[in-house]
Amino acid sequence: MIRGVIFDKDGTLFDFHASWGAWAAGFLASLGGDTAALARAIAFNPDTGRFAPQSPAIAGTPAQIADALLPHLPHMTRPDLLAVMNRSAAAAQMIAAVPLADLLDGLRAHGLCLGLVTNDAEAPARAHLGRHAIIDRFDFIAGFDSGFGAKPQAGQLLAFCAATGLDPEAVVMVGDSTHDLHAGRIAGMATIGVLTGPALREELQPLADAVLDHIGQLPAWLAEKT
């Protein structure tokens, strides 16, 4: 029986391209380098506001994104760039994939523990949840810099289990990328893919117990498991 749900953030709670496309264009322009070269470095198309599948922005950490940008920013150090990225990312306007408060309240009403694990930094993640007034719905929140590692490894997911006292077999990992689903499989959890990120259904299906259009369909899936 499922007793806990772990969500990814970008592409899962929040529509990936709608949230990060507009932010990326402005952020890259603010760095004082060759904007076109910076966009190419992270496989971002400013004309469409979309990231290519290989972009480190899709499932990578801020550190990986910074490493891709740094060769084009000789005037910046890595710590300085990471600090600028985290401040800017925290202010990014996140577009919810579905009405989040209603969904999360419904899950909690059924006795489920909720977690948020992201390859973003923890501070921007908390800022995004706070701006949508849903941070208090989560029993556990971790970013890549929270001390548990990053996906596709399972450290963050197992830390959720340690914090809540749940066995991995009683938890489902919900995410939009193969990194999310790999982490869930390694942790021994059920896995749900969603299509509000860049990955296609056929990419997620081999690693998922189910692929949903969006997290709004999760309650119906859970109802079938009880």
pLDDT of residue 174: 98
Note whether 142 and 214 are same-domain residues: yes
pLDDT of residue 137: 98
Note whether 52 and 101 are same-domain residues: no
Note whether 107 and 212 are same-domain residues: yes
Note whether 133 and 180 are same-domain residues: yes
pTM: 0.90
Domain that holds residue 71: 17-90
Note whether 120 and 203 are same-domain residues: yes
Calculate the CA 14 to chain-centre distance: 8
For the four alpha carbons of 137, 149, 177 and 170, in that order, the dihedral sign comes to negative
- Tell me if 65 sits within 8 A of 42, measured CB to CB: yes
- Tell me if 65 sits within 8 A of 57, measured CB to CB: yes
**39, 65, 90: which is the final residue of a domain?**
90
Note whether 160 and 192 are same-domain residues: yes
pLDDT of residue 150: 96
pLDDT of residue 60: 87
Q: Taking the C-alpha atoms of 117, 212, 199 and 139 in order, what is their torsion angle to the nearest 10 degrees?
A: 0
Note whether 40 and 101 are same-domain residues: no
pLDDT tens, the chain, 226 aa long:
999 999 999 999 999 989 998 899 999 999 999 999 999 999 999 999 999 888 999 888 999 999 999 999 999 999 999 999 999 999 999 999 999 999 999 999 999 999 999 999 999 999 999 999 999 999 999 999 999 999 999 999 999 999 999 999 999 999 999 999 999 999 999 999 999 999 999 999 999 999 999 999 999 999 987 6
CATH of residue 214's domain is 3.40.50.1000
**90, 118, 149: which is the final residue of a domain?**
90
Note whether 28 and 66 are same-domain residues: yes
Note whether 48 and 154 are same-domain residues: no
pLDDT of residue 176: 97
Kindly give the interhelix angle for 16-30 and 78-90, rounded to the nearest 10 degrees: 130
